[in-house]
Structure 1
Amino acid sequence: MYLLLRQILQMLTQLARDGGAKDIELLVLRHQVAVLRRQVHRPDLQPEDRVVLAALSRLLPRPQWSAFFVTPATLLRWHRQLIARYWTYPKRPGRPPVDREIREVVLRLAAENPTWGHRRVLGELARLGYQIAASTAWKILHRAGSTRHHAGPDPPGGSS
C-alpha cells in the first residue's frame, strides 16, 4: 500500500515539474478537507466566513458547488441575506445636523456684530468658506435667541 501511494506521489511530483503545482496543492487541500470533515460534523462559521463562501459561490458554476461543505440552498440563503442586509440598512430620518463648528462661527459673528442680520452673517460665512442655507443661519440665530436675525417672523427661503 505504501509503495503504491509513493508511486502516485512521485507521479504527481513529476506533474508539478510540468506546471501542475496547483493541481497537487488542490489535491492536498481536498484531502485535508476530507480529514477535517470526518472530525467535525458541523463547522462553526463566523459571519465573515459566510460572506466569503457566498461570494465565492457566485463565481463558481452550480455543478461545482459540491466543493462546498454546505448545501446549495444554504449558500443561496446566505447570499439572499447579504443582499437584504445591503438594501435594508438603518437610515436616519431628516437632514444631518449642522456641524458644531459652523454653529459656533454663526453665533460668534452675530455676537461680535450685533447690527448684522442673518444674511450678512451668511455672506461672511461664504467668504470664510462655509456654505450653508440662509434659512439654516436664521434657525441657528433664532434658536440662540438673537433679536437681529430677521425682519419678519418666518425664515427666508423655506426650511433647511
Structure 2
Amino acid sequence: MKFAKFCQALSNWSGSSKTFLTAILLIAAWALTGPYFHYNDTWQLIINTSTTIITFLMVFLIQNTQNRDNDILHLKLDELIRATKDAQNAFLSLDHLDSKELRELRKRYCTMGEEEEVSVDCTQTASVQAADIQKAAALPPAETPMP
C-alpha cells in the first residue's frame, strides 16, 4: 500500500509543469556547459546516463500508474454493468477472455448492431473507428448526422 501511494505521488510530481520546467532548465544548463568542458565524452556521458536512468525508471512508474488507472476504470464499468437492469452480467468477467474470444464477441456485437440498423463498421480497426468518432465530434453541430 505504501508503494502504491509512493508511485501515485511520484507520478503526480513527475507529470507537473514545474517538473517539466525543471527538466528543461537542467538540459539548458547542461548544454550551456558544453563549451566549458569542450564537448568532451564525459560531458556527453552525463546527459546520456541521466536520461537513460530516468527513462528506465519512468517506464515502471508509467506502467504502475496505467495499471492502477485501468483497474479503476474496469471497476467503475463493472459497477455500471452490474447496476444496469438490462445489461448482461457476463460482461463483468471479460478480462478473463483471450484475444480470440474477445474478437468473436466483438463480431457478435457488430452483427447485432447491423441488425438493429446501428451504424457500425466492423471491418475497421479500433484506431480507425476512434479517428472517425473524433472527426464526427469536430464537425459543427449543423453538419453532425442525425441518428
Q: TM over 0.5, yes or no?
A: no
- Please tell me whether Structure 1 or Structure 2 has the larger radius of gyration of its CA atoms: 1
Query: How high is the TM-score relative to the length of structure 1?
Result: 0.29
Query: How high is the TM-score relative to the length of structure 2?
Result: 0.30
